[in-house]
Each structure stands twice: as C-alpha cells, then as structure tokens.
C-alpha cells in the first residue's frame, strides 16, 4: 500500500477525472493510486471495493481516546465518513468527482482500543447530482455493531 506523504503524491485532477469512481477506488485498492494520508494517523486502510460497497479495516489506539479514556467520537465519524463517501465514489461517472455534504453517526456501544473493526459503506442512491449511503462499524472477529451512519454527497462535473 502506497500512502501519500506530500500533496504531490496525491493523484492529480486529470487522473481523477479520467476514470469512473469505481475504477479510481479499485486502482487505490490495487496500489496503483496512492491512498490519502488520513488512514495512517487514524489506523485504518482500504480493504475491499465493489460497485456500491466499500470496506475499510482498522483498529483504534489509545491515542484516539478522549480525556475520559473512551474512544473519541471523531474516530467513529472519520471511519464512517470514509466508507460511506467512498461507497458513493463507486457510482461517480468518468469526468466527475464528489464531496461530502453532510453525515450523521450513531454510536451504539463503546469500542475498546485494539479492537479490529470493519467500516462498511453501502450505496443507497447514486444520482446525477447526489449520492446517499449508509455505513456500519462492526467488529472484524465477532460482527458486533459499534456505530452506524448516513451521508449525502454532492456529485459534480469536472
């Protein structure tokens, strides 16, 4: 897996617009396109890509805890935003790109540092100008549900 270390390492606009969103995500999974740097400090990486579905795998660490010792809500939010928005990306046509308009999360139970999880994003609607997706964070070993989310993304012509 190749992760961008500088802005110059990220794929350029021409690269992004030359592919469908699905092709772009599959290229990232195969290591042909650099992954964004957010995954390293948050300890997660792309694990699976198919049309309408994206999975990230990771585990929170102590450094992701809040002052009370629990996992910071921003960790759940970051993972869900990533998997849901990337699920939308799989429906983006060649010559277009997307951005998150809004997202919401619900934390259903505490997640202990070191627990391996899967963040699963599922496309619900991929239209001309918007994409809608849902997401779940589940234990990789036991399938326990830790958080859910929903997002709306704006799809724009390049």
Rounded Cα distance between 22 and 27, Å, is 8
Q: At 149, is the secondary structure helix, strand, or coil?
A: strand
The rounded percent of the chain whose pLDDT value lies above 90 is: 97
Helix (H) or strand (E) holding 27: helix 21-30
Residue closest to 147 by CA, chosen among 33, 52, 89, 70? 70
Instruction: Record the tokens describing residue 86, joined without a space.
Output: 């990337």
Rounded Cα distance between 151 and 54, Å, is 14
Q: So what's the pLDDT on residue 2?
A: 86
What is this structure's pTM? 0.95
Residue 80 near residue 88 (C-beta atoms within 8 A): no
Domains of the chain: 7-157 (3.10.129.10)
Question: Which residues of the chain, if any, have pLDDT below 50?
Answer: none
Instruction: Record the tokens describing residue 67, joined without a space.
Output: 């002052």
Q: At 63, is the secondary structure helix, strand, or coil?
A: helix
Instruction: Record the tokens describing residue 83, joined without a space.
Output: 């998997």
Residue closest to 46 by CA, chosen among 97, 17, 89, 96? 89
Residue closest to 47 by CA, chosen among 131, 150, 121? 121
């Amino acid at each position: 897996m190749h992760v961008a270390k500088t802005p110059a390492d990220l794929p350029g606009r021409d690269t992004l617009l030359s592919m469908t969103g699905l092709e772009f995500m599959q290229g990232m999974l195969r290591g042909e396109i650099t992954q964004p740097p957010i995954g390293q400090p948050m300890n997660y990486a792309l694990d699976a890509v198919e049309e309408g579905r994206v999975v990230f795998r990771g585990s929170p660490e102590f450094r992701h805890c809040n002052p009370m010792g629990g996992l910071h809500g921003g960790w759940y939010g970051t993972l869900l935003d990533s998997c849901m928005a990337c699920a939308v990306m799989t429906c983006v046509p060649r010559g277009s790109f997307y951005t998150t308009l809004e997202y919401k999360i619900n934390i259903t139970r505490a997640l202990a540092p070191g627990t391996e999880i899967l963040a699963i994003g599922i496309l619900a609607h991929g239209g001309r100008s918007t994409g809608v997706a849902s997401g779940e964070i589940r234990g990789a070993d036991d399938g326990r549900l830790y958080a859910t989310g929903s997002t709306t993304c704006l799809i724009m012509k390049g």
